[in-house]
A and B are shown apart, each in its own frame.
Chain A
């Protein structure tokens, strides 16, 4: 079945770049997502990338997609203490002949930013 894998922890120093990696299994996934969860809160959609793209940049965030290796990464430039959170990677899987989609989430990577 579909599976999304990501490392559980990442620790960086303030001002450094953070790179969170993710691998997925469904080659038919057309959208891949990154969500952020701050302590005690729900998930906040950070960004997504369509499968025909290799890269997407949005301010300090850069998403890289290697479709051949089914590898997705999220780079956060100039990481700040406010970026400390859990980051979830997710792929979309299709139901009902492709008219509806559910998300399969990784277990999340806890990013700790040290001052």
Chain B
């Protein structure tokens, strides 16, 4: 079974803090993705990576950065958290052209 884990299920941070969201997959997948999910807006792609040290902007990269130093780990970084980044963050991984498998999500609240 594919397993995608995320470091926290719930996180509360203050405005201006630097926030790290970690995602790890155990299936040697090349591709990893970060989405945010908001009511009425569905899933929006923030960043993705097709290989180690490679990153590509998705649809809404502003205010975020990512790091992929190892194949199994993809980190999402909020350099200076803002209240409009309160959301559910979902990580996914896949082989090149195959189905994406999702982690359980991290619900981030920025106060």
Contacts and interface: CB of A to CB of B under 8 A. Distances in A.
A100 interface: yes
B48 A43 contact: no
Interface stretch (A10-18, A52-60, A64-72, A102-110): A102-110
A44 B102 contact: yes
B48 A102 contact: yes
Nearest to A43: B102
Q: Describe B's contact surface by its main secondary structure.
A: strand
Contacts of B107: 40
A45 B100 contact: yes
Q: Describe A's contact surface by its main secondary structure.
A: strand
A96 B40 contact: no
A108 B39 CA distance: 10
A43 B97 CA distance: 18
A33 B104 CA distance: 19
Contact of B42 (A48, A102, A106): A106
Question: Which 4 pairs, one residue from A and one from B, show the smallest C-beta to C-beta distance?
Answer: A107-B42, A42-B102, A43-B102, A105-B43
